[in-house]
Amino acid sequence: MSLDRIHGEVERRAGSWPRIWAMVMRYWYLLRGSWPRLVEMLYWPTLNVLLWGLISRFFQGNSSYVAQGIGVLIGAVMLWEVLFRSQMGIALCFMEEMWSRNLGHMFVSPLHPLEWLAAMIISSLIRVVIGMAPAVGVSILLYHYSIFTMGLPLVAFVAALTVMGWWISLVITSMILRYGLGAESLVWMGMFALEPVSAVFYPVASMPAWLQPVAWAMPSAQVFEGMRTVLFQHRFDWHLFATAMGLNGLYSLGAIALFRAAFHSARKRGALLNVGE
């Protein structure tokens, strides 16, 4: 078979999907072949739900705040895990390429950075589903609380937090692309820095006045306020959700621009071949 004919066939298949799928499979093979990774993914959400379930039980009889709505703490911890796992899902895919020094091979193939990003997003969703399933099960079995009782608003909350996890990981991976593996700890630190201003377990109103504008600038704070509105007042606040998605859209555009700039800078510096500390 001549090269012209072979490359003609390749060109006809030149849509993005085969490349995105190939990268999704790359991360799936990795996950499937490593039981410690799988255990780690299931372990933390389940442990957190176990812990916050016990705390909730205690506070239900001792705190009027928790007594207002069952699941205000367990629901919050589960939604926080969605945010954290979606951020980690992308960041870990990215780190795998850095650790294995594979960027050189990847970007000599026809893979476009945005296709890689799409593959990481899909892999991150898979990780969130696998990681959260046992935590949701434990919450139902042990505490008789199902996060699904939130109804359709749950879909909105999960969507907003998932998108937030994506743009945060894009910002972090851009920093690593720019500064190398020396900035690796940002992957684990980044989310925890945002947790206090995300109003996960307490309302924004309870925060110091000077910190409240920072919290309202976080899509996560809008979501957790929205969750409490559903649990306490049994209504969905569209304004909070729209603000969360609007902020997500704005930050996502900024994060994509930052990632493209970091990638461009990496090409200029030769970091795609020699990435490391």
Partner 1 sequence: MPDAAISVQALTKRYGDTLALDGLSFTVPAGKTVALLGGNGAGKSTTIAILLGLLTPSSGAVSILGHDIVRNHYAALPFLNFSSPYVDLPHRLTVRQNLAVYAGLYGLRRAKDRIVELADALDLTRFLDRHAGDLSAGQKTRVALAKALLNRPRVLLLDEPTASLDPDTADRMRTYLEIYQRATGATILLASHNMPEVQRMADWVLMMKGGKLMDEGTSDDLIEKHGRDNLDEVFLAIARSDGEDAT
The position carrying tokens 């199902």 is 146
Per CB under 8 A, the segment of 18-26, 169-177, 205-213, 242-250 that binds partner 1 is 18-26
Residue number with CB closer to partner 1 (21 or 236): 21
Q: Which of 67, 104, 185, 235 binds partner 1 (CB under 8 A)?
A: 104
Phi, psi of 121 (to 5 degrees): -65, -45
As given in the structure block, the two tokens for residue 221 are 């704070």
Q: Examine residue 106 and tell whether it contacts partner 1 (CB under 8 A).
A: yes
Give the CB-side neighbour count of residue 156, counting CA atoms within 13 A.
22
Q: Examine residue 101 and tell whether it contacts partner 1 (CB under 8 A).
A: yes
Q: Examine residue 39 and tell whether it contacts partner 1 (CB under 8 A).
A: no
Rounded CA gap, 224 and 62, in Å?
22
Q: Examine residue 112 and tell whether it contacts partner 1 (CB under 8 A).
A: yes
Q: Which of 44, 70, 96, 180 binds partner 1 (CB under 8 A)?
A: 96
Q: What is the CA radius of gyration of the chain?
A: 21
Rounded CA gap, 193 and 274, in Å?
30
209 burial type by CB count under 10 A (0-12 exposed, 13-18 middle, 19+ buried): exposed
Q: Examine residue 107 and tell whether it contacts partner 1 (CB under 8 A).
A: yes
Q: How many residues does the chain have?
A: 277
Binders of partner 1: how many residues, by CB under 8 A? 41
Binders in 235-264 for partner 1, by CB under 8 A: 264
* Number of other residues whose CB lies within 10 A of the CB of residue 211: 13
Q: Interface residues with partner 1 (CB under 8 A)? A: 2-3, 6-7, 9-11, 13-14, 18-19, 21-23, 25-26, 29-30, 33-34, 96-97, 100-102, 104-112, 264, 267-270, 272-273
